[in-house]
Amino acid sequence: MKRIALLGMPNTGKSTLFNRISGASARVGNWPGITVDLMSAKVLLGGHIAELVDLPGIYDLHGFSEDEQVVRHFLANNPLDLVIVLLNSSQIDRQLSLLLQIKKLNIPMVLALNMSDEAKKAGISIDTDQLAKSLNMPVLQISAKYGEGLPKALQAAAAVINQAHTTSDPAGISLALEEDQKIEKEMESLLARYVHIPSMLSDSTTDKIDKILLHKWLGLPLFFLAMYALFQFIFAAGKPLQDGLAWLLQLLRSDVLEPLFAGSPTWLSGLFLDGIYNGVATVAAFVPIIVLFFLVMSMVEDSGYLSRAAFLMDALMAKMGLDGRGFVMMLMGFGCNVPALMGTRMMRSRPMRLLTMLVIPLSLCSARLQVFIFMITALFTASQAPLVLFALYLMSFVTMFLTALLFQGQFKNKEPFILELPPYRFPTLRQIVLRGWLEVKHFLQRASKFIVIGVVLVWALTNFPSNVAPASAGTYAGQLGALFAPVLDPLGINNQLAIALIFGFVAKEIVVGALAVIYGLQGDALMVQIASQIDWVQAISFMLFALIYTPCLSTIATLRNESKSLSFMWLSLGWSLGLAWLVSFTFYQSARALGF
Amino acid sequence: MRLLSQLAIGEHATIFAIEAEESLYHRLSALGFRVGKTLSVMRRANFNGPLHIRLGTTDVILRDTEAARIHVQNDLLTSQ
């Protein structure tokens, strides 16, 4: 029986070609000289039954990776009637070296150039006739994927087998590869003497932690418990810092800035003190909590726990047409939606990617967190606060799951799910601080740009036209609020909050600053004022709407860029606006109907 | 010969063949799934979730759909 080997670099379509030629007859077998099994198949070629062996893909015949040694040992131990070398036409400049290395071994050869369609598109032209003459072997262009040119290539292979009655000479090849064998031997003896690698390496600490954290029943509750504890910590540690900073900023205004602006015109001191300073200071007071949030999140991210979350959640995610990686992206979205949307690039199936991108904007990002912390601090007691916040996080998950469930039919996919589980690593303090600082810097850059522009705009809208009282119904802001009143009144959202929401469309970082400007107050005074104006039902309705209605302009722009589809962007925007209204409406009206 | 998806938790086996289209094949081999390599099943997530496989020094999680593409044979030395 004749023996043919199929050889090529990784990623050249070798397995595809092998499957196409062999059909269902492939089997796995042992070969002299090597310890791993290779696939082979019996094929009919030019009247002979020949055995086609699929060798591992290698970059270099003289290399020392496991696969390269397997190929060398196979050639040095098994006589061959033909080697079919498969190269990727569009990378022929890089891959031709492998062919020339094998040619030195004097084995009858046929060169098959795969992916000729791709090469043509890239403007690469190959003169196969002249190349064949020069190499002294048949050269054929094929497409393993579509089977084009395959009959011709097999014909050429048959002709070579029938013409040449010579087979390869293993002993000669062995001699030719002697230098490589010497290196292998030396490698082996060095490794055997001085390096110890256990056959199954087990990191016992990681194993012990995994036994608990990946436990069949405890795993998921523990995960949510851990998340809740982290939020508790952020709140508990952040609150005193926030209060201290707010007190300092208030002191700066009353003792330094107000005397400084005492002599300037009213509009200028209004713009600077009630506009920019109030807005920026109110936002700045939340920076400590944001810093803590990022420090904690980056610690969780670097620890290896997120891929465990993917493992625990995958079964549930699969029911919604997503996978565990989608869950990790959702968690990343709790920091900022923009990088989470970009992170979906690792999914190859477009439907799954789009479905994941549709749910990410619903995750409660740090900018929204700041709005919620403000509202919660204003309207709830310290013991209620973490619970309300946790409920909002839960709500965020619920809307994401609901969205995926409803839309999974439109985005069907068969994306494989394979993920590496890194060992647990406790990040060093330096790592945490560095990561946290980078995130905070990014947040502040984004926030400061939006906030200053935003609060100035809000100030202008609430102070013009100048013939009416500031922030009254007669101002542009008041008119704008009245315009949206028919839609937002049924949600319990008053005109002032409505204006803040309109600006929140650009970026959530503006919302709190806008409220400060609209009410002309800062810090505690602002909170007291808002608490006297709305009750807790209205506050929750407002937060639900702010959570769902739309992330921010940058997220929308990212959605557009990443999906490359305007209609997808509109779908996402329309869906979240509609859902936000429905959820708030349902909550507000049923709470009122129940007598709250 | 069995499929990786059919192994019980705690079982050790050797990869015998991988039956996958090119892109999946390369992802699997990049994570260490190669013919002749030994692996063990660490655990399975609840509700028929993914498998947690250990291959030498690498831990990988994958779904049944992908695990069913990997043929294994029992490792006589290490299986209990």
- For residue A22 the two structure tokens come to 């062999």
pLDDT of A201 above 80: no
* C-alpha distances out from residue B41 to A514, B67, B77, Å: 55, 11, 16
Residues A355-359: what's their mean pLDDT?
A: 95
Structure confidence by residue, pLDDT tens digits, B60-74:
999 999 999 999 988
CA A579, A315, A544: angle at the middle one, nearest 5?
Answer: 20
pLDDT of A262 above 80: yes
Q: Where is pLDDT greater, at A586 or A126? A: A586
User: What local confidence, expressed as pLDDT, does residue A579 receive?
Assistant: 96
Cβ contact A16–B26 (<8 Å) = no
CA pair distance A356, A340, nearest whole angstrom: 10
Average pLDDT of chain A is: 84
- For residue B51 the two structure tokens come to 């498998």
| Exposure letters A443-459 (e unless 16+ CB within 10 A, then b) | bbebbeebbbebbebbb
CA pair distance A557, A578, nearest whole angstrom: 19
* Residue A200: DSSP 8-state: S
Residues across chain B: 80
User: What local confidence, expressed as pLDDT, does residue A32 receive?
Assistant: 61
User: Residue A547 CB: number of other CB atoms within 10 A?
Assistant: 26
Question: Which among B21, B38, B60 has CB closest to A419?
Answer: B60
Cβ contact B45–A16 (<8 Å) = no
Residues A507-534: what's their mean pLDDT?
A: 84
Give the H/E segment covering residue A119: helix A116-121
Which residues face A113 on adjacent strands? A87, A141
Those residues with Cβ within 8 angstroms of residue A436's Cβ, 6 or more apart along the chain or in another chain: A291, A294, A295, A298
Cβ contact A416–B26 (<8 Å) = no
The verdict on A221 touching B (C-beta cutoff 8 Å) is no
Strand order of the sheet with strand B2-3?
A418-420, B58-62, B51-55, B38-44, B12-18, B70-74, B2-3
Q: Which residues of A touch B47 (CB under 8 A)?
A: 315-316
Question: Which among B24, B40, B50 has CB closest to A200?
Answer: B40
Structure confidence by residue, pLDDT tens digits, A14-66:
877 887 887 656 665 555 655 566 788 888 887 888 889 989 888 888 877 77
Mapped onto helix, strand or coil, the DSSP state of residue A31 is coil
Residues A321-330: what's their mean pLDDT?
A: 86
Q: Give the nearest chain B residue to A213 (CA atoms).
A: B45
Answer whether A370's CB lies under 8 Å from A400's CB.
no
- For residue A397 the two structure tokens come to 């998950």
User: What local confidence, expressed as pLDDT, does residue A222 receive?
Assistant: 93
Structure confidence by residue, pLDDT tens digits, A299-312:
787 788 888 998 99
Mutate which of A19, A114, A207, A311 to disrupt the B interface (most B C-beta within 10 Å)?
A: A311
Q: Which residues of B touch A221 (CB under 8 A)?
A: none
Please give the model's pTM, rounded to 2 decimal places.
0.63
Residue A102: which of A110, A113, A114 has the closest Cα? A110
The verdict on A163 touching B (C-beta cutoff 8 Å) is no
pLDDT of A581 above 90: yes
Answer whether A16's CB lies under 8 Å from A144's CB.
yes
Q: Give the nearest chain A residue to B21 (CA atoms).
A: A16
Residue A80: which of A115, A33, A112, A127 has the closest Cα? A33
Residues 547-586 of A with CB under 8 A from B: none
Please, where are the H alpha helices in A420-494? 429-463, 476-488
Tell me the fold of B2-74.
Answer: SH3 type barrels. (2.30.30)
Residues 370-399 of A with CB under 8 A from B: none
The answer to whether the complex's ipTM is over 0.85 is yes
Cβ contact A314–B22 (<8 Å) = no
Answer whether A104's CB lies under 8 Å from A179's CB.
no
Percent of chain A topping pLDDT 70: 94
CATH architecture assigned to A2-191: 3-Layer(aba) Sandwich (3.40)
One-letter amino acid for residue A223 of the chain = F
Cβ contact B50–A11 (<8 Å) = no
The Cα of A200 is separated from the nearest Cα of chain B by a number of Å equal to 5
Cβ contact B43–A10 (<8 Å) = no
Q: Where is pLDDT greater, at B15 or B29? A: B15
Q: Which residues of B touch A214 (CB under 8 A)?
A: 43, 45, 52
Q: Give the nearest chain B residue to A423 (CA atoms).
A: B59
Of A287-291, A488-492, A551-555, give the lowest mean pLDDT range: A287-291
User: What are the extents of the domains in chain A?
Assistant: 2-191, 219-593
Mapped onto helix, strand or coil, the DSSP state of residue A418 is strand
Residue A208: which of A423, A420, A421, A422 has the closest Cα? A423
* Residue A494: DSSP 8-state: -
CA pair distance A180, A65, nearest whole angstrom: 12
Cβ contact B63–A36 (<8 Å) = no
